[in-house]
Amino acid sequence: MELLSVSHLSVSFDEIAAIRNVSLSVRQGEFVALLGPSGCGKSTLLNAVAGLVEPDSGEIRLQGEVVRELRGRVAYMPQRDALLPWRTVLENATLSAEVSGRDKTEARERARELLPRFGLEGFGDSYPGALSGGMRQRAAFLRTVLSDREVMLLDEPFGALDALTRRSMQEWLLDLWNDLGRTILMVTHDVEEALLLADAVAVMTARPGTIKHREAVDLPRPRSADMIAAPAFIEQKTNLLTVLREELGEMGGRL
Amino acid sequence: MIDLARRDAVAERPSSRAFDIRSLTGWLIPAFLLALVIAGWELWVWIDDTPAWFLPAPSAVAEEAVSSRALLWEHTWTTLQEVLLGYAIALVVGIGTALLIAFSRIAERTVYPIIVASQAIPIIALAPILLIWFGFGMTPKIIVVVLLCYFPIAVNMADGLRAADSDALNLLRSMGASRWQIMRIVRIPSSLPYLVSGARIAAAVSVIGAIVGEWVGASSGLGYLMTRAASQFLTARLFAAVAISAVIGIALFAIVALIGRALVPWAKEGPGKRD
């Protein structure tokens, strides 16, 4: 079943088109990676689905129903962790419950139970300033998961991390996604990350962005990080890089 | 980019004990320098045999402070009341204005530019006008203090309310948070470091406002005592009054700084530290 479907969506800022005529659908429990060069409008698409930007035209459906007010309907994770420095990890993680007026103590308890799964055991009452980059990002994930929304929108969740942390975080997310069975739409510009994590990869063209190409990822589940060395992985990666390179060529080699 | 060594580990910070020692030595050196200056001053007056009406020795100033402590206290109390009352009013009105600017787009377009522009007005110049309107009592001095303190508080806090992290704002919006929830959860807390720095500036200028207001025309207060002592060449008393006003200013500044640090423990060095 299609849980999220975007059809003919166009967004522009100051009359400059950011994305044009984008259609994309994500099935229940599916992990879709949105891949594209910097500045192609991937984040704009994500923001439109999060209800943060007003589209010029097109529609967004959740479970088949056209949604006008998307705010509060999907879980959104911004590019940087956006943890509030004056709130503890638990207070940050239960933000959504607080905003939507759900029981705060119950939410805190649930968050506390999940801390070990998020590598944050013993850090529930710590402030974000005391955490490492990877821990901060996992706290942001915890907050996103605790939004209790079917669809999770992740905007380059590992973009700010160093290469080693990023790889271990990707493996961690693989496991987590397996357990949670949530539907994820993730923006990334990292081909390996897209292939390692997602069921399907959608490639966006340069600005004004539109979906150029979509393909299923051939790797079996459960996956692990060593799969990046598998011949099938390398082949698909090479193909995707070729598709992306054409895109960069059209942008005049601008990265 | 995050440093590899810090990966998955608690960021290293100097222990609080080491910090305390450093801040203590940080105070000791300037205090020693100050003592040296005072000692040099004492010595100079003694060697040069400077007349007391021109430059009294620090010991003479201290002697005067003790012998006319009742008089000094009476005038200090007046000035202290003006400063504290003016400061408190400025704090309340300044925070109120900042919140109004943050809540209402109309206020942001009308009030905010006026406040920013009026910062360039030498408020002190209004003191004689206020004297004409409100007479020799405490009211015109309190108004000068309010005006001087109001602007840094209102402008800083308004800037702080606007400077909230855009990712955090988007996050809250995506959760369907109301304007008031966004204000309470993100904007107000992130404006606090700005408010604290505005309040520190205001603390520093508040005493100036009261003293100058009293110079212009008063029947009580340290500023009034200074002008009277100067006209009678009671220079030691003048110095004592100056020293007391300095102590008030420094004490208020220190108290505000301490409260500020307790209020925003996450912002160790004021606005802009985050990231």
DSSP A90-127: HHHHTHHHHHTT--HHHHHHHHHHHTGGGT-TT-TTS-
Give the pLDDT score at A245: 85
- Cis link prior to A208 (omega < 30° from 0)? yes
Helix, coil or strand: residue B117: helix
Give the pLDDT score at A156: 92
Best of A60, A67, A76, A95 to disrupt the B interface (most B CBs within 10 Å) is A95
In this predicted model, which residue has the larger pLDDT, B21 or A90?
Answer: A90
Give the pLDDT score at A178: 87
Give the pLDDT score at A244: 86
Q: Is the pLDDT of residue A248 over 80?
A: no
Give the pLDDT score at A32: 96
Tell me, what amino acid is at A14? Answer: D
Choose among A201, A135, A130, A191: nearest CA to A168.
Answer: A135
With b for 16 or more beta-carbon neighbours within 10 A and e for fewer, the B191-205 pattern comes to: bbbbbbbbbbbbbbb
Pair A61, A5: CB distance under 8 Å: yes
Helix extents (H) in A12-77: 42-49
Reported as a pLDDT band with limits 50, 70 and 90, residue B144 is very high
Contact A129 B11 (CB under 8 A): yes
Model confidence over A1-24: pLDDT tens digits? 789 999 999 999 988 888 999 999
Contact B165 A100 (CB under 8 A): no
Whether chain A has a CB inside 8 Å of the CB on B264: the answer is yes
Residue B84 CA to its chain's centroid (Å): 11
Looking up tokens 């200074």 gives: B226
Give the pLDDT score at B3: 39
Pairing between strand A200-204 and A31-35? parallel
Q: Is the pLDDT of residue B55 over 70?
A: yes
For chain A, percent of residues with pLDDT exceeding 90 = 62
Model confidence over A42-98: pLDDT tens digits? 889 999 999 999 999 999 999 888 888 889 899 999 988 999 999 999 999 999 999
Closest Cβ opposite residue A71 in set B11, B174, B192: B174
Angle between helices B222-231 and B235-263 (to 10 degrees): 160
Give the pLDDT score at A208: 83
Q: Which of A:35-54 have CB within 8 Å of B? A: 47, 50-52
Whether chain B has a CB inside 8 Å of the CB on A55: the answer is no
Looking up tokens 């070729």 gives: A242
Pair B160, B193: CB distance under 8 Å: yes
Pair B146, B139: CB distance under 8 Å: no
Pair B56, B236: CB distance under 8 Å: yes
Model confidence over B240-273: pLDDT tens digits? 999 999 999 999 999 999 999 998 888 654 444 3
Q: Which residue of A has its CA nearest to B263?
A: A86
Across the range A112-127, mean pLDDT stands at 93
Q: Is the pLDDT of residue B15 over 50?
A: no
* CA distance to partner chain A, nearest, from residue B193 (Å): 11
Whether chain A has a CB inside 8 Å of the CB on B266: the answer is yes
Give the pLDDT score at A48: 93
Model confidence over B26-52: pLDDT tens digits? 888 989 999 999 999 999 999 999 998
Contact A133 B7 (CB under 8 A): yes
* Mean pLDDT, rounded, of chain B: 88
Across the range B202-219, mean pLDDT stands at 93
Across the range B87-103, mean pLDDT stands at 95
Contact B1 A162 (CB under 8 A): yes
Pair B196, B270: CB distance under 8 Å: yes
Residues of A in Cβ contact (< 8 Å) with B11: 129-132
Reported as a pLDDT band with limits 50, 70 and 90, residue A180 is confident
Q: Is A62 left (phi over 0), alpha (psi -120 to 50) or beta?
A: beta
Model confidence over A139-168: pLDDT tens digits? 999 999 999 899 999 999 998 888 888 999
CA angle A78, B187, B83 (to 5 degrees): 155
DSSP A6-30: EEEEEEEETTEEEEEEEEEEEETT-
Model confidence over B57-69: pLDDT tens digits? 999 999 999 999 9
Q: Is the pLDDT of residue A252 over 60?
A: no
Model confidence over B150-200: pLDDT tens digits? 999 999 999 999 999 999 999 999 999 999 999 999 999 999 999 999 999
CB atoms within 10 A of CB A12: 17
Q: Helix-strand-coil percent breakdown of chain A, rounded to 5?
A: 40, 25, 35
